[in-house]
Amino acid sequence: MNRILRLFGLDDDPSASPSTTRREALRQTGQGLAGLALSAVPLALGAARPARSRAAGIPMGIEVHGVLNFALLLEYLEDEYYQMGLDTGGLIPDAARPVFAQISSHERAHVEFLRSAVSSLGETPIEKPTFDFTAGGAFAPFTNYDQFLALSQGFEDTGVRAYKGQAPNLYSQDGSTNTVLTAALQIHSVEARHAAEVRRLRRMAGVDVHEWIVGDDVDVAALQPVYAGEANTTHLGTDATGVTNKNREQTTEAFDEPLAREDVEAIASLFIQS
């Protein structure tokens, strides 16, 4: 059987016809409830196309509220970080305050949005942990603006990778309205805007960095885990360097990579007081 046609649901097997999309399959299982509430049910995949779903790597038993609480942890971290930065007199130059005020307002909104989303699923939002943005004394972000910027870049790029990694876990149960998935994507691109702007501020301050991620480059050694795997050039089984005349560096820049939840949590845990 032609594999690409099967993958696209275009072969002659009626069980994989275009009308039997995953959305349809999920509807046909009769598990559809309304709106957010149904997403609280652990993602049990429709029986119509189990083989493809497994092959495509949807983990079983992922709970949407758990993913949202994971995101909430990162948003708590970012929200407090920027609030503390803005509240620290003399840290952020006046010229950069509009940028950080905007970022801060977004992170605060994300916290509120995620808390409300988790609650609407009938679950309890996690409490904000006690953060230590010095990571046990390794950083001094509130007395050193360069470090404030560097950590900010690390947090934003980590956020981008975290949301990207979790998106496939957020397909809603009945598929009719993927409210949660779409909202997560809408936060994801805001984090990417933040990351680019912070990188740009650093560039303007003389740091050798671009607004996008080049390979797995990192100018601050402590942030290396944030960029692990970013040099990947193979997507959907296609090595992108082999299908374009752009070079490897440019090809890596064109794709941001997801980061697994445990890797994100390992990064975040450095900033949580134990």
Partner 1 sequence: MPDTPLPDANTPSASSSPPSNGRRRFLQVAGAATAILAAGCDSDSGMDAPDAVILDFSSDVGVLNYAYALEQLEAAFYITVVDNFYASASDDERRVLTALRDHEVVHRDFFRAALGGNAIADLEVDFSAIDFDSRSAVLSAARTFEDLGVSAYNGAGQLLDDPSFLTVAGKIVSVEARHAAVIRDLINPMSADFAGDDVVDGMGLDVANAPGTVLSAAASFVATPIEMRNL
Q: Is 28 in the site for partner 1 (CB under 8 A)?
A: no
Spell out, one character per residue from 82 to 121, where the chain touches partner 1: x when CB under 8 A holds, - when not. -------------xx-xx-xxx-xxxxxx-xx--------
Q: Closer CB to partner 1, residue 99 or residue 135?
A: 99
Q: Is 221 in the site for partner 1 (CB under 8 A)?
A: no
Diameter over CA atoms, the chain? 67
Q: Is 171 in the site for partner 1 (CB under 8 A)?
A: yes
Alpha-carbon distance of 217 to 209, in angstroms, equals 9
Candidate list 61, 127, 130, 243; residue touching partner 1; CB under 8 A? 243
Q: Is 22 in the site for partner 1 (CB under 8 A)?
A: yes
- Hey, which residues does 272 pair with through a beta bridge? 131
For the bound state, the minimum distance from the C-beta of residue 170 to partner 1, rounded and expressed in Å, comes to: 9
Candidate list 67, 72, 73, 160; residue touching partner 1; CB under 8 A? 160
Residues in region 41-60 near partner 1 by CB under 8 A: 52, 55-58
Candidate list 84, 185, 231, 272; residue touching partner 1; CB under 8 A? 185
Q: Is 202 in the site for partner 1 (CB under 8 A)?
A: no
By the 8 A CB rule, do 22 and 171 touch?
yes
Q: Is 174 in the site for partner 1 (CB under 8 A)?
A: no
For the bound state, the minimum distance from the C-beta of residue 167 to partner 1, rounded and expressed in Å, comes to: 5
Show the tokens assigned to 123. Answer: 């679950």
Show the tokens assigned to 230. Answer: 């970013």
131 CB burial (10 A radius; 0-12, 13-18, 19+)? middle
Q: Is 266 in the site for partner 1 (CB under 8 A)?
A: no
- The C-alpha angle with vertex 180 and arms to 99 and 45, in degrees rounded to 5, equals 145
Alpha-carbon distance of 268 to 262, in angstroms, equals 10
Alpha-carbon distance of 99 to 113, in angstroms, equals 21
CA-closest candidate to residue 110, choices 83, 65, 78, 63:
78
For the bound state, the minimum distance from the C-beta of residue 134 to partner 1, rounded and expressed in Å, comes to: 27
Show the tokens assigned to 88. Answer: 């620290």
For the bound state, the minimum distance from the C-beta of residue 273 to partner 1, rounded and expressed in Å, comes to: 26
